[in-house]
Amino acid sequence: MRTLVILTLLAVLVMAATCYESHESMESHEYLNPFLNRRRANDFIQADTRLRAITQERIRERSKAPQEHQRELCEDYYPCEMYAFRHGYAAAYKHYFGRRRTK
């Protein structure tokens, strides 16, 4: 009987310790109203960050490395691409586009 009383008191103490609602959690605004209105729903997203990322991507597209530009030219021309599979893109670009043909 004594162990049953001790176990019951221990269970009550554990429950009181784990289920305690602190004062800090009551101060939260989400406790009273957990839903946000539509205007405040996306306040945490910075519109400038997204626009800046898109702008940086466009700048990177305009200023490509010369090797990347040459590779894209070679990929658009099928014989150059086949030559590149065997000898590499630098050699293929030099073979097909490196020489200037003037007539």
Which residue range forms the structural domain that includes residue 69?
A: 65-102
What's the distance, CA 18 to chain centroid? 37
Residue 77 lies inside a defined structural domain of this protein: yes
Question: pLDDT by residue (tens digit) across 52-90?
Answer: 777 777 777 677 788 888 888 888 899 999 999 999 988
What pLDDT does 98 receive? 82
Which of 47-54's residues contact partners 24+ apart within 8 Å by CB, and which partners? none
**Could you give the dihedral angle defined by the CA atoms of residues 47, 52, 58 and 63, in that order, rounded to the nearest 10 degrees?**
180
Residue 73 lies inside a defined structural domain of this protein: yes
What pLDDT does 8 receive? 94
When comparing pLDDT for 47 and 53, which is higher?
Answer: 53
Is the whole model's pTM more than 0.85, yes or no? no
Residue with tokens 């990347």: 68
What pLDDT does 28 receive? 58
Number of domains in the chain: 1
Task: Record the tokens describing residue 55, joined without a space.
Answer: 């702008």
Residue 85 lies inside a defined structural domain of this protein: yes
Under 8 Å between Cβ of 95 and 83: yes
**DSSP 8-class letter at 43:** T
Residue 90 lies inside a defined structural domain of this protein: yes
Residue 10 lies inside a defined structural domain of this protein: no
Residue 92 lies inside a defined structural domain of this protein: yes
Residue 46 lies inside a defined structural domain of this protein: no
pLDDT confidence tier of residue 91, bands split at 50, 70 and 90: very high
Mean pLDDT score, 37-41: 69
When comparing pLDDT for 26 and 21, which is higher?
Answer: 21
Task: Record the tokens describing residue 43, joined without a space.
Answer: 């306040």
What pLDDT does 7 receive? 92
Average pLDDT, the chain: 78
Contact partners, residue 95, CB within 8 Å, separation at least 6:
80, 83, 87
What kind and span of H or E run contains 52? Answer: helix 47-62
Residue 21 lies inside a defined structural domain of this protein: no
